[in-house]
């Protein structure tokens, strides 16, 4: 199968979403091919987080189509759970399970969802924690870790399911500045390893360095879809110019 | 004191029966109440409706009426014949389950929504999410109100007195028949309940302490 005929990992077609009277996603079109890293930028309230959350149906959509690896999102139920198991998600607020240790957090889904034997799950979990640099924190509870360490644990937890694609919903927005880099380093490493990623972020440095494509959203619409070089040096729309003007001047 | 020592056997049998009513109804109401709470927080509207309706009906009805229903009205339906003792267990369990449901549900609501979202994003089913992530974290905040609910159940067992079910609440009847001093008899019954509730309060302290460190 050639790259051209393979279905995109994520396909969002004509998606509309309302919060009451608020039109948060307006006829959104987006395709993320396998292995690509797509960064979604945009001002607060532009719908970028909502878009990210519709892809594993944490937010249901009102109309349009979303496919993951060629399969349309099923309705809530066992089939949706199966699909979510293949889509890793990292949240702004980490959402580690507060009553479980770090290694238990990473082991939980493989043992419960994939029925992996505990010993094997623990081995994989420790390898992943090693990879994100917090193996020495494995037996602590989430509250005992710094924000950066918690977010790296959350990435390890998502990776433990061997996802086909990873969604990042503002993964560094809740972190102290000195902890942002350690999380971005892990994400850059993932991107280098060929993981398909959709990253909602305000980190322009990451967008420049690790993204294959940049999507710019404003008022619920995809306004620009270009390469990082193009977007940062020669944005086409006024809204993107305005946005970049505000964040790059200082 | 002589009221107690002369009738020790009566007191022991009666309180034994009270404890048995409490234990059986306690376990049943905890199971049913948790199941109802799961219904009330489930994503399926029909399930939520069933849970809400159950709580509305049972919590809004006086316990005495629930007893009356199972002892006098239910037999008229001629489904399965039940003994007064069984009817008391059923009435106490169904009634208390409504309160247990609300206690568990309030506990579930104290768990940040991100915990459920992370579970769903990892592919856990609703039941797995509830069982392994949300309910264990809800336990901590549930302990004090659940203890109160269980204490209420323990004392509510005396409502069975009106329906010829022998337990601590009927000690007075037996004492009257024997011409014993009813005032002191009742005092001993009250002391008996105070003593029975104490372990529950102690259990509350133990559980609160144990679950407060696990995070």
Residue of A84, A97, A154 lying closest to B123 (CB–CB): A84
Residues B156-193: tens digit of each pLDDT? 999 998 888 888 888 988 888 888 888 888 999 999 99
The answer to whether A143 and A101 are in contact (CB under 8 A) is no
Measure Cα distances from A193 to A124, A188, A245, B34, B113 in Å.
17, 9, 33, 45, 32
Contact A113 B128 (CB under 8 A): yes
Tell me whether A99 touches chain B (CB under 8 Å).
yes
Main-chain dihedrals φ then ψ at residue A199, nearest 5 degrees: -125, 115
Residue of A82, A112, A143 lying closest to B215 (CB–CB): A143
Kindly state the tokens that stand for A171.
């993964």
Three-state SS at B135? helix
What is the mean pLDDT of the segment spanning B24-46?
A: 96
What is the mean pLDDT of the segment spanning A77-96?
A: 94
DSSP class of residue B170? G
Percent of chain A with pLDDT over 70: 97
Contact A113 B123 (CB under 8 A): yes
**Which pLDDT belongs to residue A46?**
93
Among chain B residues, CA nearest to A166: B121
**Which pLDDT belongs to residue A220?**
94
pLDDT exceeds 80 at position A168: yes
Three-state SS at A198? strand
Q: How far is B10 from chain A (nearest CA, A)?
A: 47
Residues A172-181: tens digit of each pLDDT? 999 999 999 9
Kindly state the tokens that stand for B137.
């974290």
The answer to whether A104 and A174 are in contact (CB under 8 A) is no
CB-defined contacts A:B, below 8 A = 69
pLDDT band at A238 (very low <50, low <70, confident <90, very high): very high
**Which pLDDT belongs to residue A179?**
93
Give the other-Cβ count within 10 Å of A13's Cβ.
Answer: 13
Q: What is the pTM of this model?
A: 0.87
Chain B CB contacts of A109 below 8 Å: 122-124
Tell me whether A161 touches chain B (CB under 8 Å).
yes
**Which pLDDT belongs to residue A249?**
64
**Which pLDDT belongs to residue B6?**
85
pLDDT exceeds 50 at position A2: no
| pLDDT, mean over chain B | 92
**Which pLDDT belongs to residue A4?**
54
What is the spatial distance between Cα B39 and Cα B28, in angstroms, rounded to a whole number? 17
**Which pLDDT belongs to residue A1?**
43
pLDDT exceeds 50 at position A213: yes
Residues A12-49: tens digit of each pLDDT? 999 999 999 999 999 999 999 999 999 999 998 899 99
Residues B130-152: tens digit of each pLDDT? 999 999 999 989 999 999 999 99
Set out the domains of chain B in order of their start, with CATH numbers.
2-212 (1.10.3720.10)
Helix B135-156 to helix B84-110 angle (10° resolution) is 150
The answer to whether B167 and B158 are in contact (CB under 8 A) is yes
The DSSP element (H or E) to which B12 belongs, if any, is helix B8-41
Tell me whether A65 touches chain B (CB under 8 Å).
no
Contact A98 B123 (CB under 8 A): no
**Which pLDDT belongs to residue B210?**
85
pLDDT exceeds 90 at position B3: no
The alpha carbon of residue A8 and the mean position of all alpha carbons in its chain are separated, in whole angstroms, by 16
CB contact residues (below 8 A), chain A span 118-157, against chain B: 141, 143, 154, 157
Kindly state the tokens that stand for A60.
């249901």
**Which pLDDT belongs to residue A216?**
96
Positive or negative, the Cα torsion across A184, A185, A190, A193?
Answer: positive
Beta strands in chain A (DSSP E): 10-19, 22-32, 37-41, 63-68, 71-72, 87-90, 165-169, 196-200, 213-218, 221-226
């Amino acid at each position: 199968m050639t790259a051209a005929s393979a279905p995109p990992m994520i396909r969002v077609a004509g998606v509309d979403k309302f919060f009451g009277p608020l039109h948060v996603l307006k006829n959104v079109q987006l395709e993320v091919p396998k292995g690509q890293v797509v960064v979604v930028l945009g001002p607060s309230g532009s719908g970028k987080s909502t878009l990210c959350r519709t892809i594993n149906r944490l937010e249901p959509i009102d109309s349009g189509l979303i496919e993951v690896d060629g399969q349309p999102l099923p309705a809530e139920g066992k089939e949706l759970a199966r699909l979510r198991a293949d889509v890793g998600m990292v949240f702004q607020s980490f959402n580690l399970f507060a009553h479980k240790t770090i290694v238990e957090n990473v082991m939980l889904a493989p043992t419960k969802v994939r029925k992996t034997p505990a010993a094997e799950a623990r081995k994989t979990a420790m390898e992943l924690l090693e990879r994100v640099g917090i193996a020495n924190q494995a037996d602590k509870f989430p509250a005992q870790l710094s924000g950066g360490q918690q977010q790296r644990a959350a990435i390890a937890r998502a990776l433990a399911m061997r996802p086909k694609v990873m969604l990042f919903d503002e993964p560094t927005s809740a972190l102290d500045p000195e902890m942002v880099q350690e999380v971005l380093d892990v994400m850059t490493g993932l991107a280098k390893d060929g993981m398909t990623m959709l990253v909602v972020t305000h980190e322009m440095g990451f967008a420049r360095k690790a993204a294959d494509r940049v999507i710019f959203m404003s008022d619920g619409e995809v306004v620009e879809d270009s390469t990082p070089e193009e977007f940062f040096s020669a944005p086409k729309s006024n809204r993107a110019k305005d946005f970049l003007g505000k964040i790059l001047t200082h | 004191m002589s009221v107690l020592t002369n009738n020790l056997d009566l007191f022991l049998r009666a309180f034994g029966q009270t404890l048995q009513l409490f234990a059986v109804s306690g376990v049943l109401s905890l199971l049913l109440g948790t199941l109802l709470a799961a219904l009330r927080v489930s994503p399926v509207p029909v399930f939520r409706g069933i849970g809400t309706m159950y709580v509305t009906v049972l919590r809004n009805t006086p316990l005495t009426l629930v007893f009356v229903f199972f002892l006098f009205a239910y037999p008229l339906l001629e489904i399965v014949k039940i003994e007064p003792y069984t009817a008391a267990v059923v009435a106490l369990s169904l009634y208390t389950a409504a309160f247990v449901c609300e206690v568990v549900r309030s506990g579930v609501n104290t768990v940040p929504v991100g915990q459920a979202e992370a579970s769903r994003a990892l592919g856990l089913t609703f039941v797995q999410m509830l069982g392994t992530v949300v309910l264990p974290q809800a336990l901590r905040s549930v302990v004090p109100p659940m203890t109160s609910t269980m204490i209420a159940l323990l004392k509510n067992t005396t409502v069975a007195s009106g329906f010829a079910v022998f337990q601590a609440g009927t000690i007075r009847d037996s004492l009257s028949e024997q011409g014993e001093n009813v005032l002191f008899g009742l005092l001993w019954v009250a002391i008996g309940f105070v003593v029975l509730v104490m372990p529950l309060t102690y259990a509350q302290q133990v559980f609160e302490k144990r679950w407060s460190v696990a995070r």
